[in-house]
Amino acid sequence: MSIASQDTAIRTGRVTRTLIYVVLILFALFYMLPLYVMLVNSVKPLAEITGGGMMNLPEQVTFEPWLKAWSSAQIGVEPTGLAPYFWNSIKMVVPAVAVSTILGALNGYVLTKWRFKYDTILFGLMLFACFIPFQIVLIPMARMLGLMGLAGTTWGLALVHVVYGIGFTTLYFRNYYAVFPTELIRAAQIDGAGFFQIFWRILLPSSGPIAVVSIIWQFTNIWNDFLFGASFAGADSQPMTVALNNLVQASHGVKEYNVHFAGAILAAMPTLLVYVVAGRYFVRGLMAGSVKG
């Protein structure tokens, strides 16, 4: 009796599992298709693309489109390639991610371990920031940047992203610290540690997973942002996304699809890289607090 039922259990499992894997692999392939098209076509000479057969593997592999996209393609009026804009993006993203993550961590720390009256209302208002559409703030933000003398600068752009990011980073860190044992904070207080010492010495070293979540989230969003970049950046502070648009949307000459593909991959590369490097911490961080242990 028991042997028979065991047998069935195994066989059912095998069939189901095969089905599940087939479906999953199909979906994965489908999902990878655009990346395949981009990669394949970015290393073809233009003639091969215009000759049709977008799905074909290249007959002749060339890295010329990549070099051109990076250093000599026409962006707007200058033939600079994407390189200077890439560095613009880096100069905007790094401080914006760092500052918004640190401020989010501080906010989370205060909102959970130094509770005050109406702190939940304040947190609710900060959460609200996550739901304000970008378009609404464009004009007031432009005015503010002008008043601060930051209009058209990389710093101004970074500031906008910090302000927009704090809502999210605060949410992450607050929820993470909410389950962080308060007894540890009390022990540190008795040990004589001050507000910032507790933060740096006790809380931050234990915040690895959630810091990774915050960094990936912020990095991806800020790097990929187009609207703020297009609205607030000056000619010499435009981020990668805006430059890519200018490259692809150029209305004169031949459409160099291979260069466009290469440029698009270059623009997507940093976010991919961040996710590949830190992705497993991302999942771990998102799970943190939901499961005991």
Partner 1 sequence: MGFLDIDNATKSYGAVEVLHKVDISIEEGEFLVLVGPSGCGKSTLLNMIAGLEEITSGEIRIRSDVMNGVHPSKRNIAMVFQSYALYPNMTVGQNITFGLEMHGTPKPEREKAMRDVARLLQIEQLLDRKPGQLSGGQRQRVAMGRALVRNPDVFLFDEPLSNLDAKLRVDMRTEIKKLHQNLGTTIVYVTHDQIEAMTLSTRIAVMNGGYVQQLGTPQEIYDSPSNIFVATFMGSPAMNVIPATVRIQNGIPQAEITRYDGSPAHLPFSQPNLSQWDGREILLGIRPETVTDVDGADRKSTNIAHLTNRIVVTEPAGSDTFVSMSLGGKDVIARMRSDAEVRAGQDFDFAVNMEKAVAFDPETEDRIPA
- Read off the tokens for 210: 């959630």
Q: Which is nearer to partner 1, 112 or 231 (CB)?
A: 112
Minimum separation from the CB atom of position 182 to partner 1 (A): 9
Q: Which is nearer to partner 1, 89 or 207 (CB)?
A: 207
- Residue the block writes with tokens 């970049």: 229
Minimum separation from the CB atom of position 200 to partner 1 (A): 11
Q: Which is nearer to partner 1, 31 or 118 (CB)?
A: 118
CA dihedral 210, 211, 213, 217 (to 10 degrees): 140
Beta bridge partners of 291: 288
Closest to 256 measured CA to CA, from 42, 56, 34: 42
Sign of CA dihedral 44, 48, 49, 54: negative
Q: Are 111 and 127 in contact (CB under 8 A)?
A: no
Query: How far from chain centre, in Å, is Cα 282?
Result: 11
Q: Which is nearer to partner 1, 148 or 187 (CB)?
A: 187
- Read off the tokens for 248: 């692809």
Which residues of this protein are in contact with partner 1, per CB under 8 A?
A: 181, 183-184, 186-193, 197, 201-202, 205-206
Minimum separation from the CB atom of position 214 to partner 1 (A): 18
Minimum separation from the CB atom of position 178 to partner 1 (A): 16
Minimum separation from the CB atom of position 204 to partner 1 (A): 9
Q: Which helix (H) or strand (E) holds 284?
A: helix 257-287
Q: Which is nearer to partner 1, 133 or 181 (CB)?
A: 181
